[in-house]
Chain A
């Protein structure tokens, strides 16, 4: 009986430790990694290409294992998408932005998604997402770097 109790206690301790890791430590680590990663990408934008790509690789690496955190954190996928875009891996970026949209829909996500679709030359998908971003927040039109796309947004508004 005593052996069973001790075995049960060991299982309970293991389950508690796993739960604390899964539902407390992992979401916290991933949130901090996403936040620091976003800051790193922003500050690397003005640096040489090699530094920018190295920062992006580091950010993607830091967000490994963060796909299924609870509570769901849209920042994780937005940051990872930004890192993929900085590495010109726009298909991976699109996948992350689309994953972000399942958690929260924000104009900045649609905007980034639209820009990534432009990079892989899928203009209809790009226009669709940019239009969604600009319908919510018309000020984003001015942030589109391509005149023809900007004109199309203005015309549709």
Chain B
């Protein structure tokens, strides 16, 4: 049984490491599909290993249904099944259940494996994150472009590391940097590299979400320190914007757009998908249009959004068919309605609550890590979801779920 446990741990660790690095160069979808498939492979192997263990005499796992760490993910998945049944496009929504089920399996396997282990569950994903942080710095500074460079596409958009587009890189490194900060008392080398990578990705939302997460992390121990940390973060942010040329240019552009009243351009031309998602929610408030159905419905709702706001017809991305809202709050509302959004908020709330269930004077370093990270990761996730889509990005979702599972596993000594 110890061998099966080791196999399971190895699969979990290999999965969280490899998902940050795997890609398929000769595929149209270079990053997202291979990572989704890797997650599915990981889940299949975990189920296979667990069943094999039971076949050879291992105890059948008996979950404590009253434990929020068990109940909340299962309720979230059950909610997804309900909104799939009521979906406006069941065939698409059923196919969305696969990655969701895989995520659930990996979550529970990570909780089980991390219970008896320590810093390897932090070190392995952060090692993969460091590789990506170094890579994005090399790309942004024009030192090395591992996938070559395409003419006609801006250099910044091609700085993908091994994660995906720059927004996904920023989201991923933001979450990793937060975990690096939470591990700071025992592991100090990693966080600075990840923060540099986060800044290099130039993803404003991820940087703001990271700053919010750090403030919450400090607030867990002291509100006064948190206010000081917020002030320091604001000053550091202002200095960064002044010193780092691309950030300075972007900030200047945002000020000019705000003065002109061009709010669509200010929001990087995302008002159309925002309005389309809102209209979908308005038409299907209880259960939404169904998981995975936003992209399919976008075609008609985009035209309705342009009827509501004719100025959107002048947007440069008028011909772009958005696959995601670029705001997970609106995406969940559009695809899952009030039911889906409530499940999302309950899950995030359950994660945040872990920080407040661990005593401030806990002597176990792992418990202290969970106490620092849980609430800050929840706030990071909520803020990031205002302009990014971590739930739809396998690598970001996997990292968030991994650290959420580690927090669950380490909440008790």
Contacts and interface: CB of A to CB of B under 8 A. Distances in A.
A71 B91 contact: no
B37 A24 contact: yes
B318 A70 contact: no
Interface string A18-44: 011001100110011011101000000
Given A32-B26, A71-B96, A107-B321, 17 more contacts: A9-B55, A12-B48, A12-B52, A13-B48, A16-B44, A19-B44, A28-B24, A28-B27, A28-B37, A31-B27, A35-B28, A71-B95, A104-B296, A104-B323, A106-B321, A132-B299, A138-B319
Contacts, number: 95
18 contacts: A8-B55, A9-B55, A9-B56, A13-B48, A16-B47, A16-B48, A20-B45, A23-B40, A23-B41, A24-B38, A32-B24, A32-B26, A71-B96, A75-B29, A103-B92, A106-B299, A107-B319, A138-B318
Interface residues of A, number: 37
B51 A27 contact: no
B33 interface: yes
A12 B24 CA distance: 29
A31 B321 contact: no
Interface in A119-151: 132, 135-140
Interface of B: 24, 26-29, 33-34, 36-38, 40-41, 44-45, 47-48, 51-52, 55-56, 91-92, 95-96, 98-99, 295-296, 298-299, 302-303, 318-319, 321, 323
Minimum-distance CB pairs A-B, first 7? A137-B319, A35-B28, A16-B48, A105-B299, A24-B41, A19-B44, A32-B27
Contacts of A132: 299
A78 B264 CA distance: 31
A139 B319 CA distance: 8
B133 to A, nearest CB: 27
B44 A20 contact: yes
B44 A24 contact: yes
A67 to B, nearest CB: 13
Contacts of A5: 55-56
A48 B26 CA distance: 25
A23 B37 contact: yes
A102 interface: yes
Contacts of A19: 44, 48
B39 to A, nearest CB: 10
B55 A27 contact: no
A35 B52 CA distance: 37
A29 B28 CA distance: 12
Chain A residues touching B, majority SS:
helix
Contacts of A28: 24, 27, 33-34, 37
A36 B27 CA distance: 7
A72 B24 contact: no
Contacts of B95: 70-72
Contacts of A70: 95, 98
Contacts of B29: 31, 35, 75
A24 B99 CA distance: 11
A38 B321 CA distance: 19
Contacts of A137: 318-319
